[in-house]
């Protein structure tokens, strides 16, 4: 027989402001202690979500994130500081929230969420908080939650705008509420919606939206208040305006298994060959004045900060700017780190018969590190 979970005297004192709320009380606080929440992504949204769930007393928090802390994260990911740069986000987040609340348990997964591990991971938790920033993972989280019968507390941010909802909520009649596919049956075309790295995000926005997301997680666990099931909350920080849209379930949408989400979102297979070139080899080609084309697929504001003199074609425009890309000579495509440029090549090779495209490995960051240490990086 398992030991009964109780709140210790120290926990009762710590959570006294919760317990003092008549509609909340010790019973709701005990539900938090018993709950297990998986936070997918420890970045802009994950930072406030993790901080507030830990502070609130969620008994077991799982963190899945394979990324490292980067200097450009610190404008909005308030869980980290300059001393954390280069460290694992998941491990650093665990250390920070345990320092805040030693009465909770934290499990770290320093891996990407994939079709191979999603069901097993999500099965172990009561609620999932989706703080991801890409469409394949959002659909994966949603479908895995539907298949495992878990509630998915969703949020996303872009520039000045954010949105929050609660998907797959278990209703009083025993049915499940709408899920992400009821809101977005089909993903946008590749490159049509830039990521935060490409399109930017107001630094305070993740804090605002992430706090709302944490609030919904707490409401779902404690049964206090009315969750955003069947509703999508929209927030515009620039104009301080809000809207709530109703979402209805679509009985025609059936989720029976996990699929290839890269393919579903129109992205080429990651196994598709992308040939690379080192920054040292690029520098040699420049010094030898060889005839090649250099293309930069970052955004214009990034190009203005620092560039290698290439032709600017943002990732969202590569598929429609094909006439600007040489067919007969070597074309080297680059971005900040090599990720977006690899995606650009996959898109181009998937749509057109290009055989002359090379990805600059490591991008501008590698060029600055190995070729020009005085170069500005961001």
Q: Which residues are tagged catalytic? A: 196, 335
What tokens does 148 get? 């495992």
- Site of tokens 């979402």: 247
Q: Which of 342, 303, 348 minimizes the C-alpha distance to 324?
A: 348
What tokens does 188 get? 């946008």
Give the bridge partners for 331, in sequence order.
293, 357
Query: What's the rounded Cα separation, in Å, for the pair 318 and 295?
Result: 10
Beta pairing class for 331-334 and 293-296: parallel
CB 69 within 8 A of CB 47: no
CB 297 within 8 A of CB 325: no
Reported in sequence order, the residue ranges of the chain that DSSP labels E, i.e. its strands, are 36-40, 60-64, 105-109, 127-130, 151-158, 161-167, 231-236, 241-246, 276-277, 293-296, 311-312, 331-334, 357-360
H or E element in which residue 17 lies: helix 16-19
What are the CA-CA distances from residue 34 to residues 13, 148, 169, 321 (Å)? 18, 19, 19, 54
């Amino acid at each position: 027989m398992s030991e009964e979970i109780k709140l210790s005297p120290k926990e009762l004192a710590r959570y006294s402001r919760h317990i003092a709320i008549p509609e909340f009380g010790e019973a709701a606080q005990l539900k938090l202690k018993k709950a297990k929440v998986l936070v997918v992504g420890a970045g802009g949204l994950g930072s406030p979500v993790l901080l507030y769930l830990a502070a609130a007393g969620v008994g077991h928090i799982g963190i899945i994130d394979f990324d490292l802390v980067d200097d450009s994260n610190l404008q909005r990911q308030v869980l980290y500081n300059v001393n954390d740069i280069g460290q694992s986000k998941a491990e650093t987040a665990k250390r920070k929230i345990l320092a805040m609340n030693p009465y909770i348990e934290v499990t770290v997964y320093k891996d990407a969420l994939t079709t191979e591990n999603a069901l097993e991971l999500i099965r172990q938790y009561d609620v999932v908080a989706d703080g991801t920033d890409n469409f394949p993972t959002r659909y994966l989280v949603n479908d895995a939650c539907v298949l495992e019968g878990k509630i998915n507390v969703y949020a996303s941010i872009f520039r000045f705008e954010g949105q929050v909802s609660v998907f797959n909520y278990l209703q009083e009649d025993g049915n499940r509420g709408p899920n992400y596919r009821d809101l977005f049956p089909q993903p946008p075309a590749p490159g049509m919606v830039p990521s935060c790295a490409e399109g930017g995000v107001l630094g305070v926005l993740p804090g605002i939206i992430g706090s709302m997301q944490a609030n919904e997680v707490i409401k779902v666990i404690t049964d206090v208040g009315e969750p955003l099931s069947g509703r999508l909350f929209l927030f515009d920080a620039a104009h301080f305006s809000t809207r709530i849209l109703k979402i209805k379930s679509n009985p025609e949408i059936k989720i029976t298994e996990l699929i290839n989400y890269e393919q579903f979102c129109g992205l080429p297979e990651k196994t598709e060959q992308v040939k690379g070139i080192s920054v040292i080899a690029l520098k040699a080609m420049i010094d030898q004045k060889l005839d090649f084309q250099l293309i930069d697929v970052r955004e214009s504001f990034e190009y203005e900060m620092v560039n290698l003199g290439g032709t600017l074609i943002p990732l969202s425009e590569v598929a429609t700017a094909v006439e600007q890309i040489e067919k007969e000579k070597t074309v080297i495509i680059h971005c900040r780190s090599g990720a977006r440029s690899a995606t650009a090549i996959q898109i181009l090779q998937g749509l057109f018969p290009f055989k002359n495209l090379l990805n600059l490995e490591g991008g501008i960051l590698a060029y600055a590190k190995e070729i020009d240490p005085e170069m500005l990086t961001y």
